[in-house]
Amino acid sequence: MSKRLVAFFSAGGVTAKLAERLAKAAGADIFEIRPEQPYTREDLDWTNRNSRSSVEMADKSFRPAVAGTVENMEQYDVIYVGFPIWWYVAPTIINTFLEQYDLAGKTVVPFATSGGSGMGRTNAELAVSCKGARLAEGKRFGADASESELKKWSEGF
């Protein structure tokens, strides 16, 4: 059996709940990708062009700092990476996270929650941060996706 990790970023808690359910369903370890500087409600205001998230997401080379690291990342074969969709892609903190590790030979599997849009150009933006890894086509789930749905999906990697 391959060893699996669910790593997730969640600004509002929706993705966190899904990630916990997925980790249970997949028999995976879990790691929360925490920003060094947490996002406030104002930071997340997508209607404001000058909010922190708007400014960061307008620059695809921006890398928000992550607090902490996964210990012994080398032991994992499959890494499910979860996040809320921001502006049709993964928040750039996911790029920061992926770039912290040597992912050669691993499989990276994105999953997300959103207000309704799909994975969009997510993988096009994540590929630069997954050198040497296989970046699988990810999936957007409803917040209430069941453990059995997640289990079935997780077994495909």
Question: Residue 127: how many CB atoms within 10 A of its CB?
Answer: 13
Helix (H) and strand (E) counts for the chain?
A: 5, 8
Q: Which is nearer to ligand FMN, 3 or 52 (CB)?
A: 52
Q: Which stretch binds ligand FMN (CB under 6 A): 29-37, 71-79, 107-115, 127-135?
A: 107-115
Asked whether the CA dihedral 3, 30, 92, 68 is positive or negative, the reply is negative
Measured CA to CA, the distance from residue 70 to residue 31 in angstroms comes to 7
Measured CA to CA, the distance from residue 78 to residue 1 in angstroms comes to 11
Measured CA to CA, the distance from residue 139 to residue 83 in angstroms comes to 11
Q: Does 129 bind ligand FMN (CB under 6 A)?
A: no
Q: Which is nearer to ligand FMN, 79 or 89 (CB)?
A: 89
Asked whether the CA dihedral 117, 120, 123, 126 is positive or negative, the reply is negative
Minimum Å distance from CB 117 to ligand FMN?
Answer: 4
Per-position x/- string for 20-59, each x denoting binding to ligand FMN as judged by CB under 6 A, each - no binding: ------------------------x-x------x------
Minimum Å distance from CB 91 to ligand FMN?
Answer: 8
Q: Does 73 bind ligand FMN (CB under 6 A)?
A: no
Choice from 11, 33, 81, 145 touching ligand FMN (CB under 6 A): 11
Q: At what angle do helices 14-26 and 147-154 cross, to 10 degrees?
A: 60
Q: Which is nearer to ligand FMN, 104 or 124 (CB)?
A: 124
Contacting residues toward ligand FMN, per CB under 6 A:
10-16, 44, 46, 53, 84-88, 113-117
